[in-house]
Structure 1
Amino acid sequence: MSWLIPFKIGQPKKQIVSKTVSHSLEQKLEDQTKKLHKDMKKSTEADLAMSKAAVKISADLLSNPLCEQDQAFLESMTALDTAMKRMDSFNQEKVSQNQSHSLSHFKILYSGVFPSLNMAVKRREQALQDYKRLQSKVEKYEEKEKTGPVMVKLHQAREELRPVKDDFEAKNKQLLDEMPKFYHSRIDYFQPSFEALIRAQVVYFTEMHKIFSELTDQIDQAGLTDEQRKRETEAKLNELRALSIVADD
């Protein structure tokens, strides 16, 4: 990574890379982290909306007048309603885990870590500008005729430059040492969040398999294949179509 080349003492003009280049890695990582957080938040909202809609559908079916007229239909809708509520409960638990282990981690990263990182880069940039300004001042006096007053001013300029140069080099060294560590540690930070997300999904879909298997056992007509159910449904629809009140004009 060329932007990590250390700056030579006393030669900032030739060795300083642009601020745009030094920002590229952390800015790209920050943008990607924010995008991940935004996408996961959308996914979470969609999950909640899906299970809430399923509960609403089962509740509407349960309140259908047919449930008062047909005991078998009532039992089926009651089983469906119970299953949807269980699904919603597990879904909320999954969402809660995702928010705790994934969404919150991403939010902490870009709301807490990145601002501090960007501020450190800005402080180094300001120190660099001060360094270059005073370095130019020293060079200006070095190019002049070595008279008494000029030598005094040159000495003063060098004394003024020394702490500013030390400050810049300290800030620059800190970034050169820590920026690669921060960038390369991103996998170690993200990996646990994604592992937690996957585990939550595994638990959720395992429970969904159990819930819907039990529901199938409760409402399914034993011994019928999918093709047989399809033919039976089509036959009933044909009976409805044969009624004069739905016949085409």
Structure 2
Amino acid sequence: KLADNHSFLSYRLEDQTKKLHKDMKKSTEADLAMSKAAVKISADLLSNPLCEQDQAFLESMTALDTSMKRMDSFNQEKVRPFPTVFHPFNVYGVFPSLNMAVKRREQALQDYKRLQSKAEKYEEKEKTGPVMVKLHQAREELRPVREDFEAKNKQLLDEMPKFYHSRIDYFQPSFEALIRAQVVYFTEMYKIFSELTDQIDQAGLTDEQRERDTEAKLSELRALSIVADD
């Protein structure tokens, strides 16, 4: 029973590990897609005809395009070591060996039960000469099978808990590396966007003033006769 419980926990660990690896891969792909989309947006804005008509707008969009390219480049640098960082989550080389050991133990158990049942049937019969001979043969056949099962079962009872309880030590470095990579990444992003803000910001305006400014310009556009009301 104890070995079965540890086997269940290991199967569950394997399942959750595969899910983690899959989700982290999706997260990495989403990060790259996000920065690529940002570069595409800035490139589209830079090619907008307004850039040909307004030098200030051109300078702002050029600064945005440069910043988005820096972000994309840094994002690619961030995810490049992730296959190594995430390697512990891609442990398909570990779990098959473990699963095979569990299967061998299960097969040994089935063989043991089958031969034990055979010996018990002869034990229940009348103790005639032929029956005693067959009982002796059944016991002799059972003995190495029982020893094999007990050895495999003991191995799992000894090693399975060690394997399961070492999971934190095994995964912890990957989580730490992931967190550190995120810290470095978002620190760099803060620098990039702070510099971008300094380049395109209208000095002295608060967020509320900018919002009122934008709303005033939109109101002017809505007041035009060629703009239809919704």
Q: TM-score over 0.5 for the alignment?
A: yes
Deviations 1:81-112 (A, max 9, x none): 000001111111222xxxxxxx74255324x2
- Structure-2 residue corresponding to 1:23: 6
Structure-2 separation of matches of 1:192 and 1:107: 11
SS of structure 1 residue aligned to 2:94: helix
Q: 1:147 to 1:32 in 2, by over 3 A?
A: same
Tell me by how many angstroms 1:19 deviates: 10
Deviations 1:165-216 (A, max 9, x none): 1111111011101111111111111111111110110010000000000001
What is the aligned-residue RMSD (CA, Å)? 2.1
Contact 2:39 2:68 in 1 (8 A): yes
Are 2:203 and 1:222 aligned? yes
Deviations 1:28-70 (A, max 9, x none): 1122112212221221221111111100000000001111111
Structure-1 separation of matches of 2:36 and 2:198: 24
Structure-1 separation of matches of 2:223 and 2:136: 108
Structure-2 separation of matches of 1:238 and 1:157: 97
Tell me by how many angstroms 1:240 deviates: 1.9
Contact 2:39 2:72 in 1 (8 A): yes
Contact 1:34 1:106 in 2 (8 A): no
Tell me by how many angstroms 1:140 deviates: 2.2
Contact 2:64 2:196 in 1 (8 A): yes
Q: In the alignment, which of 65, 75, 80 is matched to residue 64 of structure 2? A: 80
Q: In the alignment, which of 128, 151, 158 is matched to residue 147 of structure 1? A: 128
Deviations 1:116-169 (A, max 9, x none): 212111111110111111112222222333333333222222221111111111
Contact 1:19 1:125 in 2 (8 A): no
Q: 1:188 to 1:20 in 2, by over 3 A?
A: closer
* Number of residue-to-residue matches in the alignment: 224
Tell me by how many angstroms 1:21 deviates: 4.9
Tell me by how many angstroms 1:241 deviates: 2.3
Runs of 4+ in 1 over 6 A off after TM superposition: none
Structure 2 unpaired stretches of 5+:
80-84
SS of structure 2 residue aligned to 1:246: coil
Contact 1:83 1:215 in 2 (8 A): yes
Structure 1 unpaired stretches of 5+:
1-17, 96-102
Q: 1:206 to 1:218 in 2, by over 3 A?
A: same
Structure-2 separation of matches of 1:136 and 1:234: 87
SS of structure 2 residue aligned to 1:245: coil
Structure-2 separation of matches of 1:165 and 1:199: 52
Q: 1:167 to 1:215 in 2, by over 3 A?
A: same
Q: 1:221 to 1:148 in 2, by over 3 A?
A: same
Structure-2 separation of matches of 1:41 and 1:198: 15
More displaced stretch, 198-207 vs 232-241: 232-241
